[in-house]
Structure 1
Amino acid sequence: MTHPTIAVLGTGFMGAPMARNLLKAGYPVQVWNRTAEKAQALAKDGAVVCGSAVEAVSNADFVITMLSDGPTVDAMMRDKAVTDALKPGAIWVDMSSTKPAEARVQADYLSGLGFARLDAPVSGGTKGAEEATLAIMAGGDAAAFEAALPMLNAMGRATHVGPTGSGQLAKLANQAIVGATIAVVAEATLLVKQGGGDPDAMREALKGGFADSRILQLHGARMTSGDYTPGAMSTIQLKDMVNIVGEGELCGIELPVSKSVRDRFAYLCNELGQGEKDHAALFLELLARNGLST
């Protein structure tokens, strides 16, 4: 069986392991990254490392973007040299986390050029990317999703959640839950610690109970160990919280918990200077709020 060729634009924390899993599944993969060294590391896995995005998308059946935000994706997508190099029938799959409105505008733009586009953001962090267990929520044309499904399933579990923009809307919902859960896990951890208990024992006791979650077990452990090596950076979580609150305003609804979490991540990143740390570092904001040291 001949696999379609895939271009991966953006090989950072998430894009690199995703590209590796595509290679493991037998797909020819052409990669490009603004910081060339990050793409070059994939050569040993069998990727074709390209010197430009134009080179990477040439002859690709699918173009995956895994970039920092909507404007960055938009700039890439509106680069005429890039779109001129697209193969007829190529499908653009943006797996970045952006705003639903940005996804709709970008899909309209590519449609005008004769190309299909999916918004297919992911959840699962670097661990999910490495283990090919990402939750992938895809919005866009159903036929384009079916064509992309085997490729998407090489990186995790893909679900078509509706028309264009629906994938990004589902990702915002995911990030609202993630942000709020991190915040309350931080509070529970500090409560146990300051009360004279053992946060590690608390997490063990809650395993399998109604309050258990991956965030409790994985990020709770980060909070007690103080290891905030980024799987998902706090700056990215802040961007998502800003987008969540903004989307709520567009819908005419107030999201008080998300607003509070947004403000706490803003303080962590902008005032405490901890934006490059994992989003579990929200625990540091809670410590600072209470005048406590790490």
Structure 2
Amino acid sequence: MNQTPLRIAVLGTGMMGLPMARRLCQAGHQVHAWNRTPAKAEPLAADGARVHAQAADAARQADIVISLLENGGVVAQVLFEQGVAQAMAPGALFIDMASIQPSEARDHAARLGERGIAHLDAPVSGGTVGAEAGTLAIMAGGRPADYARAQPVFAALGRATHVGPHGAGQLAKLANQMIVGITIGAVAEALLFAAKGGADMAKVREAITGGFADSRILQLHGQRMVERNFAPRGRMTVQLKDMRNALATAREIGFDAPVTTLFEALYSAGVEHGLGGLDHSGLFVELASRNAMQ
């Protein structure tokens, strides 16, 4: 338990928010939870969290407010239209751990700063497995003093790195998601290619383990492909959102991203074909269907 427990509000207790809020409870912090669908927050009561019906009520109780909401538009709505920013005390810290566009993060930081509220954008990578184990990679953008202040929070959740000013955390997360989305496609296409030619897909994955083609994606997502197990951890729709955010940011900064453009189109096709509820490794299904493979 921390020597000085913090009062922390967690807004958004879905697949990532629930285990992260639970770890903060286990670290000894006083957690106030809110979710748009209350039933998703109620299990945290057993861990000692107080569940609120309104986001502003949760934020009013907190020194630090953490967002794990769906996208930048939802973050802005909850902050500035549902009363969270107004409820937060001057000097409080807002940590946005959702994946949104860097420009949105900078805008939120500026608007909160006018109210005397500090801001960090600190999206995460590691999925539900990392959230449950407290091994998330956390990419933080904002002022160094605010990053230092957030260390008790980050310590309960994983390994944090301060990567630059406001918006830089989201840039790092988009880079992460570009790598993840593209690598999932590479692994899926390679395994399908091998299977189409007559090789055993599981044995191909085993054979290339430990070589230059090995990766966490090959190990985790490749296994899901071999097993055809696409129960959602990170959904296809979320991966598509991230690819589109990356391309929107690329246009803003004048960067040509042809590989990400290609994979955005592939994930988009998968979602259009009804695969949006699958794990993002379900891109395998879209590529398999293009090759008449089951």
- Report the TM-score, using the length of structure 2 for normalisation: 0.97
Measured against aligned partners, the alpha-carbon deviations of 1:130-171 in whole angstroms (never above 9, x if no partner) come to 111110000001100000012112101000000000000001
Q: Would the aligned equivalents of 1:59 and 1:87 in 2 still touch at CA under 8 Å?
A: no
2:114 pairs with one of 98, 112, 118: 112
2:11 pairs with one of 9, 26, 50: 9
Distance 2:259 2:83 in 1: 43
Aligned residue number for residue 75 of structure 2:
73
Aligned residue number for residue 191 of structure 1:
193
Distance 2:59 2:284 in 1: 41
**Where in structure 2 are the equivalents of 1:71-150 lying within 5 Å?**
71-79=73-81, 81-150=83-152
Aligned residue number for residue 275 of structure 2:
274
Distance 1:134 1:263 in 2: 28
**Displacement of 1:3:** 0.8
Distance 1:207 1:131 in 2: 24
Distance 2:109 2:147 in 1: 14
Distance 1:206 1:130 in 2: 29
**Where in structure 2 are the equivalents of 1:178-257 lying within 5 Å?**
178-257=180-259
Measured against aligned partners, the alpha-carbon deviations of 1:211-259 in whole angstroms (never above 9, x if no partner) come to 1111101111111211111110000000010111121111212111100
Distance 1:288 1:191 in 2: 13
Q: Would the aligned equivalents of 2:99 and 2:242 in 1 still touch at CA under 8 Å?
A: yes
Q: Would the aligned equivalents of 2:56 and 2:82 in 1 still touch at CA under 8 Å?
A: no
Distance 1:156 1:80 in 2: 30
Q: Give the alignment's Cα RMSD to 1 decimal.
A: 1.1
Measured against aligned partners, the alpha-carbon deviations of 1:42-67 in whole angstroms (never above 9, x if no partner) come to 11122111111011112201100001
Q: Identify unmatched segments of 5+ residues in structure 1.
A: none
**Displacement of 1:204:** 2.0
**Displacement of 1:291:** 2.5
Distance 1:113 1:210 in 2: 50
Q: Would the aligned equivalents of 1:121 and 1:168 in 2 still touch at CA under 8 Å?
A: yes
**Displacement of 1:80:** 6.2
Aligned residue number for residue 285 of structure 2:
284
Task: Report how many residues are paired.
Answer: 292
**Where in structure 2 are the equivalents of 1:8-87 lying within 5 Å?**
8-79=10-81, 81-87=83-89
Distance 2:15 2:82 in 1: 27
Distance 1:214 1:60 in 2: 36
**Displacement of 1:17:** 0.6
**Displacement of 1:37:** 0.6
Q: Residue 186 of structure 2: SS of its match in structure 1?
A: helix
Alignment-mate amino acid for residue 290 of structure 1 = N
Q: Which moved more, 1:187-196 or 1:235-244?
A: 187-196
Q: Would the aligned equivalents of 1:103 and 1:119 in 2 still touch at CA under 8 Å?
A: yes
Distance 1:177 1:266 in 2: 17
Q: Which moved more, 1:74-83 or 1:117-126?
A: 74-83
Q: Would the aligned equivalents of 1:176 and 1:258 in 2 still touch at CA under 8 Å?
A: yes
Q: Would the aligned equivalents of 1:5 and 1:62 in 2 still touch at CA under 8 Å?
A: yes
| CA gap 1:80/1:230 in 2 versus in 1, 3 angstroms | closer
Distance 2:161 2:190 in 1: 33
- Report the TM-score, using the length of structure 1 for normalisation: 0.97
Distance 2:124 2:101 in 1: 14
Q: Which moved more, 1:76-85 or 1:89-98?
A: 76-85
Distance 1:188 1:164 in 2: 38
1:265 pairs with one of 252, 264, 267: 267
Q: Would the aligned equivalents of 1:200 and 1:224 in 2 still touch at CA under 8 Å?
A: yes
Task: Give the share of equivalent positions with the same residue, in percent.
Answer: 51
Q: Residue 254 of structure 2: SS of its match in structure 1?
A: coil
